[in-house]
Chains A and B, each alone.
Chain A
Amino acid sequence: MLLKISNLKARVAGKDILKGVDLEVKAGEVHAIMGPNGSGKSTLAQVLAGRQDYEVTGGTVTFEGRDLLSLPAEERARAGLFLGFQYPVEIPGVNNVYLLKAALNAKRKTAGLPEVDAYDFLALIKQKMKVMQMSESFLTRGVNEGFSGGEKKRNEVLQMLVLEPKLAILDETDSGLDIDALKIVSMGVNSLRDPARAVVLVTHYQRLLDYIVPDFVHVLSGGRILKSGDRSLALELEKRGYDWVQGAEVA
């Protein structure tokens, strides 16, 4: 089991958001977590990535059998967990390439590997930039500095491709993308699909799942996973809305 979440409860700014989430993700799988606004999707993603101001109040999370919640954010990343942010922050003055190189070297160090060769690294970045159709100017710019919403999301996926995480959690990576950008982003994510890796997509819309076909779909609402199913659940949700699931629980 790559990721095992059991009865996870979390609180943000004194408010209970996650009220007992259970989820199991095996290597090779793609899971989609859907749900209405405020259901706790982003909170779940941030808690898994190790955001400090999100307080875990109960439950356990293991990642490859290790207690994930006891690790600081940077160690989770080095262990192979990656969060694609819903709102990637702009960091003027910190170059995109510096960040990527530092991130990759941090991961390599943990794995007992030497630092990446500068020449090889640039070749790697350029190859991944091609996949993501990013312009050369990216190399000289600050992290997400002046990027459009679409460029920021493509940058998230680019980072993911360079870091090759075991588990990628993509938080609304599709929001704010036009159809062309959505295709590029999906292609990037699909290129990482591999029997040794898993992807958790957090999304509002079924549309993304036309391009990245998930093995499982879960509906998160009110801080709990109310329903799980296969791809057809997403299609059903699109037709019937989230009220259908919420109503089903009450009934």
Chain B
Amino acid sequence: MNVGAHPTPTAPLSPALRSFEAQWRARKPDSLATLRASAMARVLQLGLPTTRDESWRYTNLRHLALHGYVDAPTTPRHGLRPYASLSLVSGSQRAATVLMVNGHPALPTHMDAWYNGIEIHSLRDMARSDAGLIAAHLEPLSDADQARWALINAALFEDGLYLRISGKVTTPLIILHLLTADGAHNVAHPRVIIDAAPGASATIIEHYVEQGEDPPPLCNSATHIAAGADSHIEHYRVFATGAAATHIDSLTIRQDRNSHCKQFTIALGGGLVRNSLEARLDEPGAALDSFSLLVGHESRHVDCVNIVTHNAQRTRSRQTARAIASATSRVVFNSKVVVSAGSVGADSRQSCRGLLLSPKAEIDMRPQLEIHADEVKCAHGATVGRLDPDMLFYLLSRGLDRETAQTLLVFAFLADVLTDMSVASARAAIEAALIAQLPDSKLLQAFR
């Protein structure tokens, strides 16, 4: 990277980008200053992605770029709502929750928290004590067009979480991301690093919710998972904000030998949600199971991009995407599997299915393959359709009313993704949240 170079923009800067640059200039230099400067320089050079960029074809950020943004507050203006009302996992299953307000962890200052084999650090503190380690986890995997927002995040995040997982952790850890604004056009840059030591295992749930009367801040979140050899990580990102929310989330995963990651992306809310997953299976035997559950309703827009790169022999990836779109919503799922040269025995499968619930809704699904190696097994399929008339008739013939029958079938369609969730209470909570977003949700509640 062109470290230390002064930014030389190639195009006139949008108000949004100008405000990001101003934020960057106003930050006090820290131990990551060099890295941040080069990230900012790169973004200023590239500009914000537009629909001319391949991976942004379906998502227009023009409106978003018209405003300048200021940092969202580090605490909610009117205090916190009770935890319980926000928590995803409740009831009998135990889980630990770490609260992040607009990316700022609500941890005691200068104190590391331990939780059953997970070390929980403030990213700011960690960057002070071990800048090299943090920098290594911040290097974006690529500067392709889907990574530009992650570069902005790297330049601008003020704090965040660094989790070091050393043991086999059985209790899930929930990161509750609270998004709350003070006035209009706030922005938050939450950053989480999950660093799994060899042989470690854990379940991490990132849950994004909003609070407050103002529309929530533009959320530009980024998470990086480094999965050490033989580690097992189950990661959830659950977007459950309201119709006024705009959320851009960049998740990167790098996997070592024989590691296994199970990743769930659940887009239930947000007016515009754009989430990317960029995974690199860097060593032999690494395996990734990715599940995307994308729910478009009202006039919402959900755009999910997955890029999985097989960089070693005997690596395995499975991508399962289920999308539904009702009313005038639009859901996009682009997934690309790249098998690099020499990755003999790579095994990948992409299963993408979309269900249209209204004539004005739209679903675009594009599974792609790019293979540079021999002796690989790669399969992909995509279908978009409407409810199966045979199934519908079967339910009607048993006396179920049409609304209930349709809702049941929609739910059943999404079940492929839900059944693979290992955290029963998270699954139940996600199911409940999902049901609430479906047409005729009241009818379906009766079934739970």
**Contact pattern, A 61-73, Cβ under 8 Å of B = 1, otherwise 0:** 0000000000011
State whether the Cβ of A94 lies closer than 8 Å to any Cβ in chain B: yes
User: Known contacts A85-B394, A89-B390, A89-B394: does B399 contact A74 (CB below 8 Å)?
Assistant: yes
* Interface pair A98/B390, CB less than 8 Å apart: no
* Interface pair A74/B400, CB less than 8 Å apart: yes
Question: Which residue of B393, B399, B413, B446 contacts A163 across the interface (Cβ within 8 Å)?
Answer: B399
* Interface pair A94/B397, CB less than 8 Å apart: no
Residues of B within 8 A of A78 (CB): 399
State whether the Cβ of A88 lies closer than 8 Å to any Cβ in chain B: yes
Residues of B within 8 A of A136 (CB): none
State whether the Cβ of A241 lies closer than 8 Å to any Cβ in chain B: no
* Interface pair A53/B389, CB less than 8 Å apart: yes
State whether the Cβ of A8 lies closer than 8 Å to any Cβ in chain B: no
User: Known contacts A89-B391, A91-B391, A98-B408: does B396 contact A74 (CB below 8 Å)?
Assistant: yes
* Interface pair A51/B399, CB less than 8 Å apart: no
Residues of A within 8 A of B399 (CB): 74, 77-78, 102-103, 106-107, 110, 163
**Contact pattern, A 187-202, Cβ under 8 Å of B = 1, otherwise 0:** 0000000000000000
Query: Max chain B CB contacts within 10 Å: which of A53, A73, A83?
Result: A73
* Interface pair A92/B394, CB less than 8 Å apart: no
* Interface pair B396/A93, CB less than 8 Å apart: no
State whether the Cβ of A157 lies closer than 8 Å to any Cβ in chain B: no
* Interface pair A73/B447, CB less than 8 Å apart: no
Question: Which residue of B390, B398, B416 contacts A99 across the interface (Cβ within 8 Å)?
Answer: B398
State whether the Cβ of B395 lies closer than 8 Å to any Cβ in chain A: yes
**CA of A99 to CA of B390, assembled, Å:** 15
Residues of B within 8 A of A110 (CB): 399
State whether the Cβ of A208 lies closer than 8 Å to any Cβ in chain B: no
**Contact pattern, B 397-429, Cβ under 8 Å of A = 1, otherwise 0:** 111111011001101111110000000000000
* Interface pair B389/A94, CB less than 8 Å apart: no
Which of A219-248 touch B at CB < 8 Å?
Answer: none
Cβ distance B42 to chain A, nearest Cβ, rounded Å: 45
* Interface pair B415/A92, CB less than 8 Å apart: yes
* Interface pair A163/B398, CB less than 8 Å apart: yes
State whether the Cβ of A142 lies closer than 8 Å to any Cβ in chain B: yes
**CA of A29 to CA of B408, assembled, Å:** 36
User: Known contacts A53-B389, A89-B390: does B398 contact A103 (CB below 8 Å)?
Assistant: yes
User: Known contacts A91-B409, A107-B399: does B415 contact A73 (CB below 8 Å)?
Assistant: no
Residues of B within 8 A of A40 (CB): none
State whether the Cβ of A50 lies closer than 8 Å to any Cβ in chain B: yes
**CA of A82 to CA of B413, assembled, Å:** 26
* Interface pair B396/A73, CB less than 8 Å apart: yes
* Interface pair A50/B416, CB less than 8 Å apart: no
State whether the Cβ of A159 lies closer than 8 Å to any Cβ in chain B: yes
- The majority secondary structure among interface residues of chain B is helix
Residues of A within 8 A of B400 (CB): 74, 99, 102-103, 106
**CA of A53 to CA of B397, assembled, Å:** 14
Cβ distance B431 to chain A, nearest Cβ, rounded Å: 11
Which of A168-227 touch B at CB < 8 Å?
Answer: none
Residues of B within 8 A of A72 (CB): 396, 402
* Interface pair B408/A74, CB less than 8 Å apart: no
Which of B4-55 touch A at CB < 8 Å?
Answer: none
* Interface pair A91/B397, CB less than 8 Å apart: no
* Interface pair A74/B402, CB less than 8 Å apart: yes
Cβ distance A173 to chain B, nearest Cβ, rounded Å: 14
* Interface pair A88/B393, CB less than 8 Å apart: no
User: Known contacts A91-B412, A93-B413, A142-B412: does B396 contact A50 (CB below 8 Å)?
Assistant: yes
* Interface pair A94/B398, CB less than 8 Å apart: no
Which of B366-403 touch A at CB < 8 Å?
Answer: 388-391, 393-402
**CA of A91 to CA of B397, assembled, Å:** 14
Cβ distance B397 to chain A, nearest Cβ, rounded Å: 5
**CA of A73 to CA of B401, assembled, Å:** 9
State whether the Cβ of A30 lies closer than 8 Å to any Cβ in chain B: no
Cβ distance A60 to chain B, nearest Cβ, rounded Å: 21
Residues of B within 8 A of A143 (CB): 394
**CA of A49 to CA of B394, assembled, Å:** 10
* Interface pair A106/B391, CB less than 8 Å apart: no
Q: List 26 A-B contacts (CB under 8 A).
A: A50-B396, A52-B393, A74-B396, A74-B397, A74-B401, A74-B402, A77-B396, A77-B398, A82-B397, A85-B397, A88-B394, A89-B388, A89-B390, A91-B391, A91-B394, A92-B415, A92-B416, A93-B413, A93-B416, A94-B409, A99-B395, A99-B398, A102-B408, A106-B399, A110-B399, A159-B398
Closest A-B pairs by Cβ, 3 of them: A93-B412, A93-B415, A77-B399
Q: A72-B402, A102-B446 are in contact. List 11 more A-B contacts (CB 8 A).
A: A51-B393, A52-B393, A53-B389, A73-B393, A85-B394, A88-B394, A89-B388, A93-B411, A94-B408, A99-B398, A107-B399
